[in-house]
Each structure stands twice: as C-alpha cells, then as structure tokens.
Amino acid sequence: MTIAINQPWGPEVPLSRAKRAGKLRKLLRWWPLAILGIAAFAAAFPYLLAPLNPDLTHLNARLQGPGFRADGLKFLLGTDDLGRDVLSRVIWGVRVSVVVATTAVFAAGVFGGAMGIIAGVRKRILGPVIMRIADMVLSIPFFLLAILVVAALGPNLRNLVIVLALVRWPRYARVAYAQTLEASEREFVRAAVALGARQLRVVRRHILPEVLPALVVIATLEVGLMVIYEAALSFIGLGVQPPTPSWGSMLSTGQQFVASAWWIATFPGLALFLLVVAVNRLGDLIRDLLDPKGRI
C-alpha cells in the first residue's frame, strides 16, 4: 500500500514561480526605457555607433542591399541612391528626431502651461482671451500653419521646432487651465488666499504642484507625436534639409525605390515605429503611476 505524504513545501513551489513570473512581467513593462535609452545614447553620441560617415557617398555601391561589401567596407543595412550607408544615416537621424521632439515639447509645454495657469488665475479678463487664441490655433490645420511659417522663416531645424511648438501649445494650455480652475476651488488654496498669501506664492506652492503631473503626462505622450510630425515635415521637404540625415527625408527618398531597394525606406520606418511606440508606452506607464485611482 502506498501512502501519499503531503510535504509542507510542496504548494510553495508554484507560488514562488508565480511571484517570479509576476516580477518578470513588471520588469518587462518597462521595456520602452531600453529603447529610449538606446535612442538617447545614439542621439548624444552617434559617432560612436555609426560605422561610417552618413554623408560619405560611394557611387560604385549605389542601391546595394544589406550586407554588401565594397572598397573594404561593409554596409550592414545597404546603401541609398547616392551610395551612402543606410545604417549610419539611421543612427544619425535619431539625433534630429530626439532633439526636435524634446525641444518642441519643452517649449510648447512651458509656454502652454504658463498660458493656461495665467488664464485660470486671471479668469475674468485674460482667461477668455487666452483660451480663444488657443481655440483659433487649434482650428488652423497643422500642415497649413507649417507651410506658412516655413515659407516666412525658411526650412531649418530652428524653424521646425517653432512650428511644432506653435501647433501644440494649446493642448497644454487647456489642461493647465482646467487644472488651475479645479485647484483654485480647493479648501487649502482658499485658506491660503484668506490668510493673505500673495497670488504668485499661491500659484507656486499650491496650484503648480496640482497642474504639473498632468502636463508631464501630456508631454510624454506628445514626444511620439512630435517625432511623427518632424518626419512628416521632412518627408515633404519642409523640415530638416539635406544632407542632414533625417528619417523623414530617408522615407521620402526610399519611396522612389520601394520595388528595387526596399531597405532604404524600411529601416528608417522601423526605427520611427519603435521610437514612437516606446514613447507612447512609457507615457501610458507614467500616467498610471501618477493617477491616484490606479494606486488604490
């Protein structure tokens, strides 16, 4: 006769595995940080990662596929119509996307957040004026405004940042305006005003901490949109001008050779896709962390 012995440590084995699997899933949720870390390093030190000069042409190696070798050089991702290394241009293109996106988001966030807070504090006179201006900017199509600004100032990196900041600041202003109105009605803010606190101190100590988390969440989500906008403007020739490597300009060149040289458009498009997905996913995670309801 066989006697089954229940060992006290038996049920703990699957439980420990479940805990390890749960910890692994939590870690895997932050995979966007790995992609963004690589993108940030490539943007800061592209010369350390790029195997070749992105502007160096090799006319005897035009439109060659990935892994092609010529003149003692290996082109891992192939070459474009001028014989330039696609891998090097993709790596250097990260700098344009990251610099433009972060600068435009910072400028739009600071300006739009300030306008929204001012509109919420001065809600009788300045508030309606600022919000009507924001509505007017939102009513103008993005590409129309971009064409007007670029036509007036000229296509370059600085003007591209100005265009993107002008287009997106109303979103920050609207959120900051709503958060300021809500915070102004809270008891601790009313108590501070009743005790004679100056308006600037009330804004700095009480209203800004309530507005800032919402603006941070919007900014993280806006970075991916700015990357797409920059690529779209460069695609139609209104963004960064050649020979500066840009994913949008590479996609514009690659569309002419989709059938014969698919790698020219595929690899910058894949890099653009991964960067935008990583940024948006990170924005979702930050929103969940800052949302008090998600911590209940």
CATH architecture of 73-295: Orthogonal Bundle (1.10)
**pLDDT bucket at 272, cuts 50 / 70 / 90:** very high
Q: What is the pLDDT of residue 90?
A: 93
Give, as one character, the DSSP assignment of residue 241. Answer: P
pTM for the model stands at: 0.80
User: 68: part of which helix (H) or strand (E)?
Assistant: strand 68-70
At what angle are helices 126-139 and 157-184 packed, to 10 degrees? 140
Cα 282 to Cα 29, 184, 271, 278, 294, distances in angstroms = 9, 30, 17, 6, 16
Tokens 């040289």 belong to which residue? 261
Question: How many helices (H) does the chain have, and how many strands (E)?
Answer: 12, 2
Quote the tokens at residue 236.
């139609």
Cα 168–Cα 173–Cα 177 angle in degrees, nearest 5: 160
Quote the tokens at residue 91.
């790596």
Interval 64-89: pLDDT, tens: 888 888 777 888 898 888 889 999 99
Domain boundaries, the chain: 73-295
| 24 vs 247, higher pLDDT | 247
Q: What is the mean pLDDT of the chain?
A: 82
Beta strands in the chain (DSSP E): 68-70, 73-75
Q: What is the pLDDT of residue 294?
A: 47
Interval 151-172: pLDDT, tens: 787 778 888 888 888 888 999 9
Cα 156–Cα 160–Cα 161 angle in degrees, nearest 5: 125
**pLDDT bucket at 291, cuts 50 / 70 / 90:** low
Report the C-alpha gap between 175 and 114 in whole angstroms.
11
Q: What is the pLDDT of residue 295?
A: 46
Contact 208, 200 (CB under 8 A): no
Report the C-alpha gap between 163 and 74 in whole angstroms.
39
Closest CA to 81 of 62, 58, 56: 62
